[in-house]
Amino acid sequence: MSTAILTGPPVPGSSLEGDLRALGFDVRIASGTEDTAALIAAVPGADRVAVVDPRFVGHVHALRLALTDPRFPAAAVAGALTVQPEARPALVRALSAAPGSGVPAGGVGAQAGNAADDGDTLSAVQAARSPVVTDALAEALDADGTAVYRPELGSLVATVPGDPQARNEARQAVTAVDDEAVRLRSAVKARDGFFTTFCISPYSRYLARWCARRGLTPNQVTTASLLTALVAAGSAATGTRAGYIAAGLLLLFSFVLDCTDGQLARYSLQYSTMGAWLDATFDRAKEYAYYAGLAVGAARGGDDVWALALGAMILQTCRHVVDFSFNEANHDATAAGKSVTGSPTAALSDKLDSIGWTVWVRRMIVLPIGERWAMIAVLTAVTTPRIVFCALLIGCGLAACYTTAGRVLRSLTRKARRTDRAAQALADLADSGPLAEAVAGGFKQRARSFPGFLPLAIALLGGTVLVATAAFTDYGSLWPAVAAVIYVVTSGLAVARPLKGALDWLVPPVFRAAEYCTVLVLAAHADVNGALPAAFGLVAAVAYHHYDTVYRIRGGTGAPPHWLVRAIGGHEGRILAVVLAAALLNSSDFTLALTALAVAVALVVLVESIRFWVSSGAPAVHDEGEPA
């Protein structure tokens, strides 16, 4: 249990002690700095501890934001400070360095109250104006190298009044602001898509509050969203009009729950490692399971759309890889020693954002998850799966062209130097296996003289040759195997030097597109029942590995262990295995080989992913994912 230590008895009439208990703290009252240190030492080492000035006046939600957020080792607002176990030693050092009489004996609250009872107004004012120990401790923690998070309070109040008049004014300011209304507003993401902002969030925030008041956790809501989406996929798989209508409605409800879990996490500050993993992966699992359900339903009606379903999954996954790669490459890039904050293209984007309606148009053009799922749900209910996938491919294709073109222009107009951290992140996203690494090692010295555009050009050349050869030769031909060998060489050359060029962030997306599209083309050429569904399963398993890599990097823990990448072959190793299977096996055996490879990759990746995300080494975050 968390412990809150008041540096003296609360001021008479204050609700502070009850507010802290309502936030889950065991409240203890100290008589001075030395007593505060002794009470902190008595708190179990694995527990959170807070130090609060007894004169504190403010909203309960201000205390909640400062004292209960699990993401930060230390956090503070005026008059209140909290540390988690990893920051406890720094707090002890700060207390030991504080003056022994940092708080008047008996506590400032007690002195002010007693003086007022005796009619000694001067003594009361002097006691009320005594130093705010918690603020001094927060400054000492910062000076000691422990970053102290200070939440944005907006209209919320958090203060330590210096005299009775200031205290009355602070209380009036607290009364003037609706704490619960602010909490509800802050539960909604500041930047979201049009559909979510105007069609979902106006009521989903109240659903989040309803869940919080009944003790439900974000993870439970996330799981409910997944189960609802799976039921939607099952309804679509029936292939009936009633099933399609039910599927569309259930998909929309799943999205409502998907918004609710994040709002619940922000409303109640329930961020967790497991929540990060669930939230990061379940959105993709729901959407791709729904694609599979639509494909099964269409097959029941005699229309084979598995190629379209796989194409939609490939396009959507590659869009996400473009997003991740660009962001990782540029968020800490520098120019002439200064942070890169803009470019002519970015300036134009900011100018457009100043025109209100263009903001929403530009957010809708990129077809984020809210607009995308709404389109899928409506088209599922009123049309056919083939039309759903065609609309999805066209819409996502245009969105991908729009976003990628803008990012290419930004990259070319920025005079940026990318950091070693960014280059390592791109290398991790490339997912190079032992074959590509061997080639890269052989050309490491020569690669240093490569022009900046060459890694991307080499990657594009190898990927294009591979996919084109697979597409324009018959099933069983050896030419795709030759192209795969060429691809192994080019993929190694592309990563032989650190990926710090202006457009090197496109190298991982090119690798993803080459691998996924090759599997799609070979499965389509096999022309046997089950080949495309097996390919869908394989791409889904590999895509999960790539998403898992992204979220580990985002959490600051680095890529998955090297043994995992080697165990599943790297992108070039998997391509070589699939191409050789297509060249040496008949169509039926090729389908079995794809199925076996999909199961093997899924088992290895899932076991390691689950082990990591439930371990203490995983970051305690709640990933926001793409704008909804």
pLDDT score, position 119? 42
Tokens representing 55 are 């004169």
109-118, 125-134, 236-245, 278-287: which range is least confident on average? Answer: 109-118
- Any idea what DSSP says for residue 25? E
By C-alpha distance, which of 389, 387, 400, 246 is closest to 317? 400
Q: What average pLDDT is seen over the chain?
A: 89
Residue 280 is predicted with a pLDDT of 76
Amino acid occupying residue 321: V
The SS3 of residue 605 is helix
Span 461-489, average pLDDT: 97
Q: CA-to-CA distance for 581 and 594, rounded, in angstroms?
A: 9
What is the pLDDT confidence band of residue 556, given thresholds at 50, 70 and 90?
confident
Closest CA to 201 of 72, 370, 366: 370
pLDDT over 60 at 108, yes or no: no
CA pair distance 38, 484, nearest whole angstrom = 68
| Architecture of the domain made up of 416-627 | Up-down Bundle (1.20)
Looking at residue 619, what is its pLDDT? 55
Q: Decide: 93 and 215 in contact? Cβ < 8 Å.
A: no
pLDDT above 70 (res 621): no
Tokens of 156: 């919320």
Q: What is the pLDDT of residue 77?
A: 96
Give 585's pLDDT tier (boundaries 50, 70, 90): very high
Kindly state the helix (H) or strand (E) to which residue 308 belongs, with its residue range: helix 306-330
| DSSP summary character for residue 505 | G
Q: Convert the pLDDT of each residue in 493-550 to its tens digit.
A: 999 999 999 999 999 999 999 999 999 999 999 999 999 999 999 999 999 999 999 9
What are the start-end ranges of the E strands in 7-147? 25-29, 49-52, 57-58, 74-77, 80-83
Among 204, 202, 258, 201, CA closest to 229: 258
CA 87-90-93 angle, 5° bins: 155
Task: Report which DSSP code applies to 495.
Answer: T
Asked whether the beta carbons of 153 and 96 are under 8 A apart, the reply is no
Q: Using an 8 Å Cβ cutoff, are 80 and 134 in contact? A: yes
Q: How far apart are CA 302 and CA 386, in angstroms?
A: 11
> How many angstroms separate the CA atoms of 106 and 202, rounded?
49
**In angstroms, rounded to a whole number, what is the distance separating the alpha carbons of residues 127 and 110?**
9
Q: What was the pLDDT predicted at 121? A: 43
pLDDT-above-90 percentage for the chain: 74
Q: Which runs of consecutive H residues, i.e. helices, occur in 383-431? A: 385-413, 420-430
pLDDT at 306 exceeding the cut of 70: yes
- Residue % of the chain over a pLDDT of 70: 89
Nearest to 82 by CA among 179, 26, 5, 159: 5
Amino acid of residue 405: A
Environment class of 573 (CB within 10 Å of its CB; exposed 0-12, middle 13-18, buried 19+): buried
| Domain-wise residue ranges, the chain | 3-98+131-177, 416-627
Exposure class string for 543-564: b at 16+ Cβ within 10 A, else e = bbbbbbbbbbbbbeeebbeeeb
Q: Are 161 and 167 in contact (CB under 8 A)?
A: yes
Encoding tokens for residue 456?
């991307």
Predicted local distance difference test score (pLDDT) of residue 557: 80
pLDDT band at 332 (very low <50, low <70, confident <90, very high): confident
- Spatial distance between the Cα atoms of 95 and 403, rounded to a whole number of angstroms: 52
Task: Determine the pLDDT at residue 415.
Answer: 74
The answer to whether 47 touches 91, Cβ cutoff 8 Å, is no
Token readout for 223 is: 């799981």
* Residue owning tokens 């967790």: 272
User: What is the bridge-based pairing of β-strands 25-29 and 2-6?
Assistant: parallel
Q: Tell me the CA end-to-end span of the chain in Å, nearest whole number.
A: 35
Q: Using the predicted structure, report yes or no on whether residue 53 has a pLDDT greater than 60.
A: yes
Contact 161, 128 (CB under 8 A): yes
Q: Hey, what are 44's tokens?
A: 């179990």
State residue 109's pLDDT score: 41
Q: Is the pLDDT reported for residue 117 higher than 60?
A: no
Query: pLDDT value at position 107?
Result: 41
| DSSP code string of 322-337 | HHHHHHHHHTT-EETT
| Phi, psi angles (nearest 5°) of residue 358 | -70, -25
106 SS3 class = coil
Residues 6+ apart with CB under 8 A from 348: none
What is the arithmetic mean of pLDDT over 351-374? 82
Whose tokens are 């990933």? That residue is 623
Place of tokens 């907006």: 154
**pLDDT digit string (tens) for 372-384?**
999 999 999 999 9
Instruction: Give the pLDDT confidence score for residue 116 in this predicted structure.
Output: 41
CA-to-CA distance for 74 and 321, rounded, in angstroms? 33
Please state, in angstroms and rounded to a whole number, the distance separating the CA atoms of residues 549 and 560.
6
H or E segment to which residue 2 belongs: strand 2-6
10: helix, strand or coil: coil
**Is the confidence at residue 368, as pLDDT, over 90?**
yes
For residue 446, what are the contacts with CB-CB under 8 A and spacing of at least 6? 496
- For residue range 170-220, what is the model confidence (pLDDT) as tens digits? 999 999 999 999 999 999 988 888 999 999 999 999 999 999 999 999 999
pLDDT at position 340, please? Answer: 53
SS3 content of the chain, % helix, strand, coil (to 5): 70, 5, 25
Arithmetic mean of pLDDT, 599-607: 96
Please give the pLDDT value at position 278.
82
Phi/psi region, residue 119 (left: phi>0; alpha: psi -120 to 50; beta: rest), is left
| Cα distance between residue 396 and residue 409, in whole Å | 20
Given a cut of 60, is residue 105 above it in pLDDT?
A: no
pLDDT at 101 over 50: no
User: What is the distance between the alpha carbons of residues 160 and 143, in angstroms, rounded to a whole number?
Assistant: 22
- pLDDT for 130 equals 58
- Whether the pLDDT of residue 615 is over 50: the answer is yes
